[in-house]
Structure 1
């Protein structure tokens, strides 16, 4: 592929990673961000072996490991009976895989610092609404109808509510999910918790409370946890009007150990209401636009795959551009490389979500009794671990990635990558 001039919409993790990877392949890139100052949005997230492998190819795994909290287990229990509902352990799989819980700010800061160090352009305060073709170039148009730049290729990494995706010929139908969550990043002082586990409490499928150790935003910061409370988005305003005291009392009734966290919340402004939607763009390309991350596919966060899928998208796109001389062929190859993995995990998320976020009493009953029992059998333990890891189908080979040696990383004996590292065979 000849050197391309690439415009990247969005300075989130997907956009920043795309800029780094494509610039290292020799392309000329610039990022266009709608906010006046590029900054992280949200609380905590899980980096799975998939996303961690991509970060290793960028030479950024070690910084992330130093900031995050290694997660070995996902555990959930019924808030009233204490019955175990979910217990997924990464060690059910061979190879030593693990998850890494991080603050969204830590992932953003690490990628943003690398982009700045590389001298890549970030243009802020640019709200993009459309792309049109002119003279063989993809021309980005801003909210005032002005041309924001002409590019050989546009990468849309602007998220689930992308105007570029909504206006494209491949625009998918959007299914807004009824349930969202309040999130907050809080100090862990005085909190009795497992630093290597995501722990959750449930009341049927209507209530889900979680504590995720999230490490530090920067090397000199204190460690924090991400705290979340699942709720119907339509009920959020009524909950706010009822007051913080009533909301806190309800949580403490379910999970008294949360008191040190709730003591830190004195205003609703400390909580972010996350809304979720299910959508899948097929294919994730339209003309000279490639869609990555949530602009290409979004769903509920139940399987914790969002940022990881975005990083895989970026790597697959970069590999397609590296190995095909024609842009149309490369974009088609990108779509093919990500098709099976995206389709499977979108389906799994759609199937799993009602068991944890819905009004169904029957599904919650099945989850607590039948599903929890089946999940303890040896074949299912490994299957669930591979789902959580994002590796139920091989995500690495289509992107020509060499997966990390997890055992060596755990023991500190693997030399981590300091640049792009791809598998020998595509």
Structure 2
């Protein structure tokens, strides 16, 4: 591919990873970010073998593993009976795969430090509303309707509420999901929990409380957990109006072990209400504009694939651009390469979500009795582990990646861990 001028809208994980990959290929890249100060948004997330492999290809596996918490198991139980409802173990798959729970600040910091070290320009305070193709150029416009940049290629990484994606010729319909969640990042001191598991408690599908060990935001900092409580978005104001003490009392009643976390919350401002929507661009391109991460596909976080899909998107787009001098052909190849993996996990997320976040008592009953039983019968444990890992179908070959040797990584200290390289 000849040297391109590339504008990347958004400085989240998808935008930062895309910038690094493309700058290393020799392209001139600049990032345009709407906030005056570039910073992460959100609490904690799970990096799966897919996302970790993409970070390894960037040479960033060691620093992110030094900050995150290894996750070997996802466990959920009924809050009243204690009955196990969900038990997904990575070791049900061969190869030694695992997850890594991180604070969003940690992932942002590792990627942002690499972008800064590479000398990639970031223009802040840029509220971008549209991108259109004009001849062989892609033009970004701002909120005032003024041209913000003209490029050979624009990559939209502005997230699920992207106005750029909403105005694209391939813009999909949007399904707003009824349930969201309150999130907070809290100190784990005094908390009784499994440091290597995402742990959840349920009351039917209306209540879901979770604790995710999330490691450190920076080296030598204290360990924290991401704490979340599922809530119907339309009920959030009423929950707040009823008072923080009443909300805390309900959680203590369900899960007394949460008390050390609840004691740290003195104001609703410490909690972030996350809202979710389901949408998928097919294909994830429009003219000379490519969409990555939540701009291309968004859904509930039930399978924990969001950041991982974004990192794989970035790797796949960079790979297809490296194979040809024809930008249009490269973008078409990107759409084909991501189509099946993207469609499968969008479908799975949409299908699984009502079993854990909905008003349906029937689905919760099926989950607790039938699904939980089937999940223990082979080959279901391996199937569930491959879904959570993001590897039910292979996303690596199309991205030019070779999956990490997890057993070799686990056998070595973090500072000496082997990393994957492009195939």
Question: What TM-score do you get using the length of structure 2 for normalisation?
Answer: 0.98
Is it true that 1:156 corresponds to 2:156 in the alignment?
yes
Question: How far off is 1:130 after superposition?
Answer: 1.2
Which residue does the alignment assign to 2:172?
A: 172
Note if contact 1:57-1:417 (Cα within 8 Å) is conserved in structure 2. no
Correspondence 1:15-414 to 2 at 5 A? 15-134=15-134, 136-412=136-412
8 Å CA contact 1:280, 1:296 repeated in 2 = yes
Measure the CA separation in 1 of the matches of 2:417 and 2:152.
34
The Cα shift of 1:220 comes to 2.2
Alpha-carbon contact 1:11-1:31 (below 8 Å) kept: yes
CA distance in 2, matches of 1:94, 1:397: 19
8 Å CA contact retained: 2:71, 2:196: yes
- Provide the C-alpha distance between the structure 2 equivalents of 1:23 and 1:253, rounded to a whole number of angstroms: 52
Distance 1:318 1:65 in 2: 24
> Aligned equivalents of 1:118 and 1:204: distance in 2?
49
Unaligned runs of 5+ in 1: none
Name the CA distance, whole Å, in 1 between partners of 2:66 and 2:133.
44
Give unpaired runs (5+ residues) of structure 2: none
Q: 1:96, 1:407 within 8 Å by CA — same for their partners in 2?
A: yes
The answer to whether the Cα contact below 8 Å between 1:50 and 1:390 also exists between their aligned partners in 2 is yes
1:410 to partner: Cα distance: 0.5
Q: Deviations over 1:23-77 (max 9, x none)?
A: 0011100000000011000000000000000000000000000000000000000
Q: CA deviation at 1:138?
A: 1.0
What RMSD, in angstroms, separates the aligned Cα atoms of the two structures?
Answer: 1.1
Which secondary structure state, in structure 2, belongs to the residue aligned with residue 26 of structure 1? coil
Deviations 1:323-379 (A, max 9, x none): 122001000000000000000000101110000000000000000000000001120
Alignment partners' CA distance in 2, 1:58 and 1:167:
32
Superposed displacement of residue 386, structure 1: 0.2
Q: 1:233 to 1:401 in 2, by over 3 A?
A: same
**Runs (4+) off by over 2 Å:** 132-136, 413-418
Other structure's SS at 1:378 match: coil
CA separation of 1:45/1:280 partners in 2, compared to 1, >3 Å: closer, same or farther? Answer: same
| CA distances 1:137-196 after superposition (whole Å, capped 9, x unpaired) | 111110011111110000000000001000010101000000000000000010001100
Determine helix, strand or coil for the equivalent of 1:229: strand
Question: TM (normalized to structure 1)?
Answer: 0.98
In 2: Cα distance, 1:299 partner to 1:114 partner: 28
